[in-house]
Structure 1
């Protein structure tokens, strides 16, 4: 909103400036060698992301089949991908275009690796074969057979001289292939289950190899002798393991310790001493976190381990910081259920999805903070006006209060400080008081009851959110006490909203009613009846004693808090209206619906002034900044769109256009006064003012006719003879028409077509048409983009006068650019323009 003083400027324009979409839906993940780009599998495509910001750089479109594996060349120039179609596709990462595709195996490719020279790619398939391909030339150099099951892992030896490839299959057998001889030189049979990872030491040119798998052990091998050195029992299914760079400072053991990292079904990273088999460190699993690790990537430059979880998140842990979580990239959000802006500058967006994690996005760089605490899906959230205190409700029958401090170190930015346990079913609605100190919280549940919770024990934390972590770390979250409980509705409670004064609150329910209650006592004050289906959302006006409700009956209703009567009903959505917010000092509403539409309403006249259509499914939630500069929407399409209020920009643009138009109109008047017909006609065409151009032509032709009548007795006047010979009354106008640009000519022909339908203007239209036909070739006219529309009909005029256009048509027809049907040409138009013999001039 913008304005001077108390003036309210109604919003009328919102532009989508950012989106938070799915970037990873499970499968392969890779990072290029210089650690600048992240590559993820997203359904049938591969997303290319900027690793520092998480922003999408490009999308590599697949062949409509799911991507099964891919790898990036160490030199970063190409990406090799395989899909269920059994095709290998090579992408140029400078242009993000396909270089070539070819069929590789008789079954899907499960794993692949590219050698250090970026020349060869090894592919392991479900057909039990391993093949090696020349990437740039696209042909197979080796075809290794011998495994008895599907190939689960392949890895090139790091030495350029040895030219060896190691592969494993689901029976636990590891084979070493010599690329020079094309034969298997060793078979290693120590694992008893699927081998998921193979890696080599770099400090001794690969003299040791580690292998890890689902048999819950890590094996260390002497590469030269192909013998087992030791087995490290890890007591969990391992999905990823590898070696840290030699000399990495991890804070455990001595500097020369060679460290193995591992991750698997427990969802924690563990570090091991390769030489002794001792466990150096294990992460503490986060509260109520249910994820497992399906892959772990090592970034030696950033000293990060990137754990890929089975719930499609990428967690970045600092190797030198005791494996503390530094950053997260959320790959997939499922349905967006609820959202709210948080943080003192409101750059962050708290999001509830179909998971037990609370997600807080930085809208500047799309990095995401994950907060664990709930045991089941979070259904709703509410933020205090100070934007540092937040409440959530979940299917675990519990509500939680959180402190948000985004300036704190990573992993301490969102802290659960209190829990509210008492409902017997899922908590589907929650609202915090908005006044100073945030004294209470209201919750509503599927058990149809409403509870008020005393937040006074949190006063010290609420007044000083920075102290939350220290205050809670020792004792744990505070258990809140409810002040009253009552049954509010006959069906599920969908929404709760506390009035700005904190004295009353409203509830909306599936029982088709909304009710207003006294905060202090919990007693009912009134019932809002009138919706024909369940009420999805309730919201109080920030300035008036008015409440808005949305319903599955496709309407929005405004109610008076004085007598609880319906003031207005807004209709326009084609399906359930799910969410509503007051904007612009209570003079406007924004709503979202199951029809995927966002609508902006002026309350005074109940008019919908803007409809935004970008979502592909129902929009469950709408969040606004307190400044109302940005609003965010999210829904069942798993996408969050951020919209910016560009009303003021649009107003300024229109003002500039109006000022420019006034200047052009003045310039046009000046041109006409000076009889500068060239600039006058060109400016009129650019302004798209056909009536003004018609008047110019009419004035010029009328003046010419008048001069012709006056000079008829004196035919020796050269000027009058020139005027007589000019088609449009003066050679200056004829010359302008004969030198128009193609877009200007196209526009003029469109005007002529319309003028010719009116008997008053038909003679001017025919004169202009004749002027065009005598100065442009058939190729010029046929080259116009809308030539087919303009050449819509033909008429047997006098063929000999248009013989130069014979090539356009057959028989005795010539082009007519006037109408889609010549039958509608006004008769006066035919009579007004007489085309004489070849040795005479046209006469008006």
Structure 2
């Protein structure tokens, strides 16, 4: 038992030298159309000029469909989920196979970009509406246009198929404020519906097929009897609408008032950023989602899923918010499409299963690392700059913002329904400029330290048991001459350090705020400071491209680490204080060993500045994030690599012994194959020399029939390897006769076509030809074979 504990202790303290990126949180949506397949298995989003296909439940990437360098204007997915149709500004319409991610067909659709699409419920036809004012209908599988409808005098902004009494119809709306109805059998316009005074943004037909509703940016929903072309009623919505649609009558409405359960309902979404459900009969609002505090987003589209009965709101800040209709529009899931620059991160939760990310936004994102589900925490009124979490249990964390406030958040886990909720439990108000640094203690949750552009540090007393929403600042000190970028609290909670753009690091008493000392030496601003978990030292990183280690007793510099080619933005301790991990503006993450001053490894999977680092408590994983909007999770694989290296050494020793045994027994078959696998050309040369010197069987090429047979039966990989060795042996007059003999055996038993197919054939033959005349006894045979090979090679190249 004691031996196991010692082994585990040694394993934990072993220097970390190898990491690999095991997971990333990446952008999947940068604006535009969003789709969810009918079976809810796939989420389809536009990512710049490409299309990203991901699993809706897990966030796992399925396909990236590469575009044609032009922005995707719209897309639609078949109800059966087999194909995706997309259109871009290049005027090309593409059909994709969703099972393979392959483009099946490309067609020029309109003379101007396609703006909207709709596919009928049989997955046969797709309707396209273009900026040229034309509506077209296409046969998807056979790839030809079946209908062309002219009439709109502006950009077509909405299309909707309708099937009723064995007849196919199509409704279209445009920015000419008109709705046109088309009969697909007669290919004629049935009528024009006029009432809106702005662009039509949504069309849908009721379950009985008799009613058409239209939503417009004129802030009203019109209800039409489309067969008689009469406007039945107009409902004011009081917001600029971007989408409208009916909700199925089989939806579970048991949580709603009984009067709504038998009525036809429809939903809307628009610039107010709220999903609402309305009664078709009365126009009365039935339900609205709860508005998030300080949220400023608008809704660009709403996706209705009949299967799981939810409404997915697509927002202008590239998020997808999913609301459950049976749960009275309670938000059940959030999908973050785009993170912008990630400037800070922190592991949170008792088991550090979640990651809080600060992303150039007033909204804090909290990711479930395993599933990549994301919770959006609203509250700040301006961009969040920093985040820190309590080391006590990881459920308390704090954020600092440009709105001059710091907010305290509490993570709560409901054991009954397994749900995790986040609550703002305090707002610290008092700074006069942006807050650039926050720090929570290591052993308690009694205080918070903040610093910012007003150059002051504040100590906030926290009384979470009494649920105080506005903590008190017990002291405020003018700390630096320039912005404060970082604050770190010592492991014993008695001291803290601050780093500033004034190039100084200062150490303070937590209890009184008294200045204890100043560290001078950096030539640029300080970006990060951290205390060692075991020694009385602290590490700082700076814009001068260096990391420095300081003695906290006399504030002298102990060591300086150089290696980054640009500003070092973050630093933290690893391996019980024996190592450091840093990240910089050069896009690299580096791991350093303090004792030797050496960089053990460089982790390179970012394309921009790496602003943030977070080390998990068990130090098995490091998270890095930066300006490329990507979070990388790096796993420590040092132990696995060492074990693998040990296994390889053991296998090598065993094979070495086996090789000696085979040679002793004259088991040439296994000896040659083993020497090739061990990549030991000298041992192989010695083996061939021994065989040729013994020359037991004079009528053979090598002197041994078994060796001739082995060389004749060599596989492609071993043949390539042996030819390389022969070329090298042939450059030495001492070894050339053996090389030519083995080559003769190979060329006698392998056809020129077989040799030509080898990847290294030309290099080998070119290397051998200059030495042939001097060393090859059966010259005619070799020249014939060699020139056949050479001739074949040149013929293939030409």
Scaled by the length of structure 2, what TM-score is found? 0.94
- The farther-off stretch of 790-799 and 412-421 is 790-799
**Residues 520-564 of structure 1, C-alpha deviation per residue, up to 9 Å, x if partnerless?**
221222222222211111111111111111112221111111222
Alignment of 1:264-343 (within 5 A): 264-343=270-349
Alignment partner of 1:578 out of 569, 576, 581: 569
Correspondent of 1:236 among 208, 228, 239: 239
Distance 1:160 1:497 in 2: 72
The residue that corresponds to 1:509 in the other structure is 500
Out of 403, 417, 430, the residue aligned to residue 422 of structure 1 is: 430
Matched, 1:139 2:144: yes
Contact kept in structure 1, 2:744 and 2:782, CA below 8 Å: no
Unmatched segments (≥5 aa) in structure 1? 462-470, 472-476, 705-718, 817-844
Q: CA deviation at 1:487?
A: 1.8
CA contact (8 A) 2:260 2:286 kept: no
- Does 2:405 correspond to 1:431? no
Match of 2:154 in 1: 149
Q: Contact conserved, 1:2 with 1:648, CA < 8 A, in 2?
A: no
Provide closer, same or farther for how the CA distance between residues 132 and 626 of structure 1 changes in structure 2, counting only shifts above 3 A: same
Q: Which residue of 2 aligns with 1:73?
A: 78
The equivalent residue for 1:380 is 386
Question: Is 1:777 paired with 2:751?
Answer: yes
> 2:719 matched to which residue of 1?
745
Alpha-carbon contact 1:196-1:214 (below 8 Å) kept: yes
For 2:376 and 2:780, the matched residues in 1 are separated by 78
Does the CA-based 8 Å contact 1:809-1:815 persist in structure 2? Answer: no
SS at match of 2:474: strand
Q: Give 1:812 shift.
A: 14
Take 2:780 and 2:164, find their aligned partners in 1: how far apart are those partners?
81
Write the deviation string for residues 282-335 of structure 1: whole angstroms up to 9, x where unpaired.
Answer: 333111111111111111221111111110100011111121111100000000
The gaps in structure 2 that reach 5 residues or longer are 794-798
CA distance in 2, matches of 1:3, 1:197: 68
Q: Are the counterparts in 2 of residues 617 and 637 from structure 1 also a CA contact under 8 Å?
A: yes
Matched, 1:255 2:261: yes
* Aligned-partner SS, 2:7: coil
Report deviation, 1:760: 4.6
Answer yes or no: is the 8 Å Cα contact 1:369–1:411 preserved in 2.
no
Is the 2:404–2:432 contact (alpha carbons within 8 Å) kept by the matching residues of 1?
yes
Distance in 2, matches of 1:387 and 1:10, equals 26
- CA deviation after TM superposition for structure 1 residue 36, in Å: 1.7
Larger radius of gyration: 1
Q: Which residue of 1 aligns with 2:412?
A: 405
How far off its partner does 1:729 sit? Answer: 4.5
Look up the match of 2:682. 691
**What is the aligned partner in structure 2 of residue 479 from structure 1?**
470
- Deviates most, 524-533 or 224-233: 524-533
Aligned-partner Cα distance in 2 for 1:806–1:445: 81
CA contact (8 A) 2:96 2:105 kept: yes
Map of 1:797 onto structure 2: 773
Q: Is the 8 A contact 2:529 2:539 kept in 1?
A: yes
String of CA shifts for 1:760-800, please: whole Å, max 9, x gaps: 54444344334434443333322211122223343372899
Matched, 1:212 2:215: yes
CA distance in 2, matches of 1:3, 1:139: 73
Give the equivalent residue in structure 1 for 2:601. Answer: 610
Shift of 1:101: 0.7
Q: Is the 8 A contact 1:247 1:258 kept in 2?
A: no
Q: Does 1:190 align with 2:195?
A: yes
Match of 2:522 in 1: 531
Is 1:19 the counterpart of 2:24? The answer is: yes
Task: Measure the CA separation in 2 of the matches of 1:660 and 1:226.
Answer: 83
Moved more, 520-529 or 632-641: 520-529
Conserved? CA contact 1:116–1:160, under 8 Å? no
Aligned partner of 1:62 in structure 2 is 67
> How many residues align structurally?
780
Find the aligned partners of 1:550 and 1:787 in 2 and give their Cα distance. Answer: 53
Say whether the 8 Å CA contact 2:762–2:790 is kept in structure 1.
no
* Counterpart residue number, 2:40: 35
Equivalent pair of 1:158/1:200 in contact (CA under 8 Å): no
Match of 1:754 among 728, 733, 736: 728
Say which SS state the counterpart of residue 164 (structure 2) adopts. Answer: coil
The alpha-carbon deviation at position 364 of structure 1 amounts to 1.0
Relative distance call for 1:811 and 1:768 in structure 2 (3 A) is closer
Q: Residue 71 of structure 1 contacts residue 79 of structure 1 at CA under 8 Å; is this kept in 2?
A: yes
Partners of 1:5 and 1:42 in 2: CA distance: 45
More off after superposition, 261-270 vs 642-651: 642-651
Relative to structure 2, which stretch is displaced further, 773-782 or 375-384? 773-782
Deviations 1:23-62 (A, max 9, x none): 1111111111222211111111111121122222111111
TM-score (norm 1): 0.89
Shift of 1:813: 9.7
Kept after mapping to 2: 8 A contact 1:805/1:814: no
Report the secondary structure of 1:157's partner residue: strand
Report the 3-state secondary structure (helix = DSSP H, G, I; strand = E; otherwise coil) of the residue aligned with 2:167. coil
2: CA distance, partners of 1:644 / 1:442: 31
1:814 Cα deviation after fit: 11
